[in-house]
Structure 1
């Protein structure tokens, strides 16, 4: 099933004695404007390649990349390897230290129809187009997407545990997460990684826009190359793979913010009433707690007033979208169908490009944005479970956009992966 390959990563040149902690950056879809401005001030920070600025950002990144290669800011590792990546983290209110274990490699950019790599949520078209242009100009994967494979026997973990004892990098990132990177060069161990994945499907956990960018670029190059073999560099994509059977996988909720609606508060609540039991709440900062663990329950913070919403069970069968039952049963499907379509009149496909709809992972930030008047209302959601993600992926359907937030996010800057033909290790035999 899944064809993976080791890679010869491009990394910051150790001889320059740059501080790697000052070179890493958040992924393009989570970095804030304030973070961007601060990181741009460091002329060597990885954000110049992952989220370039200027009127022609992709072209600027491509020129800068060539300059960094020419002057030895970046250099390519001499040997292909599997890069082990561990993230140690804690969650608010808990003293437990989690460790998400995984490894970074190349994976073929499979079309969704091939049923090898499975997605679970929709994308936002404009973000995909930006990623395609950046990939086309730079021919560089500046950060790995996140995929999940299932291995209840934990075949690869002992090799990763051994490798991580000799780290290349160890830093604390913007999330407060301790990131550690090491590399495996042993041929026989690398073969075991390749063999372990070759009979497995991969669920795309995070990075749908970047993966679709690679997929669309591959399709374009296939059309332009009459001698296409399937082994060319453009066929591959950079991915961080973790075992879905680990207990330390965490998915956080992603809340919805709506900047404005063409209804008064009273009209909005009246239109919600046929579908939801609406319970006023005194303290908006308890909205995430009063819905915890309750199916089809949401927090609503509207113009400074807090409410708990709970779908009337008999109403659920009204969902008439042509989607599998596994997707109809999701909280976010309920939210998008009854609130966005039935109440606000924004239909299914149009919701992906809905003006004024934004996404926020931080619960208190949702409350603050409504209080400041920059947002009219916040819809607070529960997290999606790993089992729900699996069920949706295997159903062949997708969740609404921005359904999951796998925590922590991987970081950019530890390594980069080239899909230039003369810098890529394509055929497995050549790599090993």
Structure 2
């Protein structure tokens, strides 16, 4: 079963850096060039300099953004900008945020989790990974010897007993508080009381963990551990390379939000509602919802009210109209992807990818897709004609993540978007 451990984290000394919000950053995979530049300008000690530094002319194997990150990290520790905790701790982590007009607070805790290769224990992935990001993270791990950014893990605990046990160690304590660039309020409390640590370790001992976000970082941590074992550099089962930094959140947490990931597809120039209907009609029952932002909203509200995965929304940019498409039968999906389970085939993202894009619209071309999560982003793209076909997709639920991951299947790319992202820089984890 997954084993969690308290650890002596490395954290910023506020006496040296001042406002913590000046030195934290989102995880590397959501940082574009503009945000990266803004974070670099914000503080000479912003963690983005470690997590995602800039390439420079003349970089080579001996001098590059990874070696610069390692040098900076060593300098900051020597100068006291970053300091080691005095005692092993778990870290309670709350994030308060607003989505589509509603307020939420997601609660969990940061811990070291013993690494297990996927398929050999009780830690499960749910999405496919790509080789490029893993190669990038491995170079950073090797250079710095640190997990800079936590993996996001979910575990079944309907009554939230494990969180309650660790939160028993923060009563009447003031948290570190950071408001990030999206307005999310992040609060962190270290927990060092032996009784609280022992209680939560016991409660977590028999629970599986499902990776929500950070699959590339987790697989890279396993690769890093295996490489060190092969070269004889592991000191034993308690070597820090046997663990990774993970945020653990109960699947029953009221603040756990999975946003939909809508697709903005280009590559279908001149596609009209009539042509789309002709293509979809053999498999879908279709309903017109009007045009413009009001049509988009009405279509999405009907999808939310229905709550099923087999209902998709389509906005044709050529004429600005919105169509709701309800799949009539699972038979064609069974024929198209027989190697996958019924649960996988029933996902909205699977239906869109395999049936709509690859079969019904295949002869129109292979679309280029941009992924967005809010209705305003969809309507803005349609109004600016920056795509040819906007596709509304129902969000996968925790029940889909759990059952598909437990079957050792992986969802199609961009199936889930857990909001908000975890901040990088609140606490760092040494792995050697």
Going from structure 1 to structure 2, the CA distance change for 1:282 and 1:372 (only over 3 Å counts) comes to: closer
- 1:88-99 equivalent positions in 2, closer than 5 A: 88-94=96-102, 97-99=103-105
Are positions 1:218 and 2:232 aligned together?
A: no
- 1:177-192 equivalent positions in 2, closer than 5 A: 177-192=184-199
Aligned to 1:135: 141
CA RMSD of aligned residues (A): 2.5
Compute the displacement of 1:262 (Å): 8.0
Q: Is the 8 A contact 1:21 1:173 kept in 2?
A: yes
Aligned to 1:109: 115
Are positions 1:150 and 2:156 aligned together?
A: yes
Q: Is the 8 A contact 2:105 2:254 kept in 1?
A: no
Aligned to 1:318: 335
Partner Cα distance (1:267, 1:5) in 2: 57
Partner Cα distance (1:204, 1:232) in 2: 22
Would you say how many aligned residue pairs link Structure 1 and Structure 2?
411
- Report the TM-score when normalising by structure 1: 0.87
Aligned to 1:329: 346
Q: Is the 8 A contact 1:369 1:375 kept in 2?
A: yes
Going from structure 1 to structure 2, the CA distance change for 1:268 and 1:60 (only over 3 Å counts) comes to: farther
Moved more, 284-293 or 131-140: 284-293
- Report the TM-score when normalising by structure 2: 0.87
Deviations 1:95-147 (A, max 9, x none): xx432221101111210121310111222332222222222222211111111
Aligned to 2:22: 22
Aligned to 1:52: 53
Match of 1:163 among 148, 161, 170: 170
Partner Cα distance (2:358, 2:253) in 1: 37
Q: Is the 8 A contact 2:119 2:408 kept in 1?
A: no
Q: Is the 8 A contact 1:2 1:199 kept in 2?
A: yes
Partner Cα distance (2:16, 2:231) in 1: 40
Match of 2:76 among 61, 68, 90: 68
Partner Cα distance (1:158, 1:231) in 2: 24
Compute the displacement of 1:239 (Å): 0.2
Going from structure 1 to structure 2, the CA distance change for 1:229 and 1:17 (only over 3 Å counts) comes to: closer
Compute the displacement of 1:223 (Å): 2.4
Compute the displacement of 1:228 (Å): 6.8
Compute the displacement of 1:218 (Å): 2.1
Compute the displacement of 1:275 (Å): 2.7
Compute the displacement of 1:254 (Å): 1.1
Partner Cα distance (1:173, 1:251) in 2: 19
SS in 1 for 2:135: helix
Partner Cα distance (2:259, 2:173) in 1: 31
Partner Cα distance (2:382, 2:98) in 1: 28
Aligned to 2:292: 283
Aligned to 1:307: 323
Going from structure 1 to structure 2, the CA distance change for 1:59 and 1:342 (only over 3 Å counts) comes to: farther
Aligned to 2:60: none
Are positions 1:298 and 2:325 aligned together?
A: no
Match of 1:123 among 123, 129, 152: 129
Going from structure 1 to structure 2, the CA distance change for 1:364 and 1:312 (only over 3 Å counts) comes to: same
Aligned to 2:389: 377
- 1:228-267 equivalent positions in 2, closer than 5 A: 229-261=236-268
- 1:337-348 equivalent positions in 2, closer than 5 A: 337-343=354-360, 345=362
Compute the displacement of 1:77 (Å): 1.1
Aligned to 2:95: 87
Q: Is the 8 A contact 1:24 1:413 kept in 2?
A: yes
Compute the displacement of 1:20 (Å): 0.4
Going from structure 1 to structure 2, the CA distance change for 1:65 and 1:290 (only over 3 Å counts) comes to: same
Partner Cα distance (1:65, 1:247) in 2: 37
Partner Cα distance (2:121, 2:276) in 1: 41
Aligned to 1:413: 425
Q: Is the 8 A contact 1:326 1:395 kept in 2?
A: no
Q: Identify unmatched segments of 5+ residues in structure 2.
A: 57-63
Compute the displacement of 1:355 (Å): 8.1
SS in 1 for 2:160: coil
Q: Is the 8 A contact 2:310 2:347 kept in 1?
A: yes
Deviations 1:24-52 (A, max 9, x none): 21122223433222111122112222222
Aligned to 2:37: 37
Aligned to 2:59: none
Compute the displacement of 1:379 (Å): 1.6
SS in 2 for 1:291: helix
Moved more, 193-202 or 74-83: 193-202
Partner Cα distance (1:129, 1:100) in 2: 31
Compute the displacement of 1:227 (Å): 6.5
Partner Cα distance (1:394, 1:201) in 2: 9
Partner Cα distance (2:197, 2:74) in 1: 30
SS in 2 for 1:113: coil
Going from structure 1 to structure 2, the CA distance change for 1:297 and 1:207 (only over 3 Å counts) comes to: same
